[in-house]
Amino acid sequence: MLTAPTAAALCPYVEGFWARAAQAAPAARERVLPSGRMHVAVRLDGEGLRLYADAADTRGWLVANAVVAGSRDRPYFKDTSQPSRSVGALLRPGAAPALFGCRADALSNRHVALEALCGDAATQLRQDLSTETDEQRQIATLQAFLLGQLRPIRALHTPIAQALAALRSGDVGRLVEAIGCSHRYFIAQFRANAGFAPKRYTRLLRLQQVLAAGNPSASWRDAALAAGYSDQAHFNREFREFTGLTPQAWRAAASASAHHVACATAPVNSVQDGRRRDA
């Protein structure tokens, strides 16, 4: 997978870009764990992204080849039986209003066709990317597209930007007391930019700390305490709520990617469903 830096004008809204060659997946279906982050992804081959309601769903539904994935606090299931080249971007809080003209919480736990948000420009983007074989130029094409979508809005509201920084250090409570706006306004603005209320977003960040650390060589108890959980029981409940798995099941999957877990149940795609709906 090729990664590339972000153009200066997009840095407040895009964390990074990537391009990936077609690769065979270890299973025909994956459970993708929530990260609390949005992303844009364009598949350059095949029929597009197929999602499933759960591990037992054998039909699923098609979304599109180019999608915006909203921030999530629960897993989703996708078809990985057909390898495809892809190019995409990982987005920061504040990207939804700046790039797509909508609130982040309007996209939470959803996959939306990029065309639905950006119109014909998204169709042209996929056509341009499909004919480009060089991954570096694919990323440059996607960057140019997002630059063209960038709206002349104000920078991320200062209390929200400060809160996002404080959440990473776990000191948001003191900040909320000090901000110069109402609690209700603060929560609404935070959701509009990050997709979730601060408390839930904090819980997602805490889970990311565990996932990023990978399978611990020490006990789960030590890993839980290091991430800020009160005890292992608290950690187990949170892990199960957000991922649908126990920590032990996640460890047993031994995936190369912390957020992608192969599903034992293989999808059956004998019926190609052209319907599009939200995840």
> pLDDT tens, 227-255?
889 999 999 999 999 999 999 899 888 67
CA dist 224 and 63 (Å) reads 36
Q: What is the structure's pLDDT at 91?
A: 96
Tally of CB atoms within 10 A around 104: 23
CATH topology of domain 158-255: Arc Repressor Mutant, subunit A (1.10.10)
| H helical segments located in the chain | 95, 114-118, 120-130, 135-149, 158-169, 172-178, 183-194, 198-213, 220-227, 232-243, 247-253
Domain ranges of the chain: 2-149, 158-255
| Residue 214 in tokens | 């990978």
Output the pTM of the full model.
0.87
Please report, in angstroms and rounded to a whole number, the separation of the first and last CA atoms in the chain.
Answer: 26
pLDDT tier at 114, thresholds 50, 70, 90 = very high
Residue % of the chain over a pLDDT of 70:
84
More confident residue, 118 or 218: 118
Quick check: 97 and 153 in contact, CB under 8 A?
yes
5 Cβ contact list (under 8 Å, min separation 6): 16, 17
* Dihedral over alpha carbons 42, 201, 203, 52 (to 10 degrees): -30
The dotted CATH code for 2-149 is 2.60.120
| Residue 71 in tokens | 């921030």
CA dist 214 and 209 (Å) reads 9
On the question of pLDDT at 39 being above 70, the answer is: yes
Quick check: 98 and 151 in contact, CB under 8 A?
yes
Which sign, positive or negative, has the C-alpha torsion 191, 18, 155, 170?
Answer: positive
93 Cβ contact list (under 8 Å, min separation 6): 104, 156, 160, 164, 193, 194, 195
> pLDDT tens, 199-214?
899 999 999 988 888 7
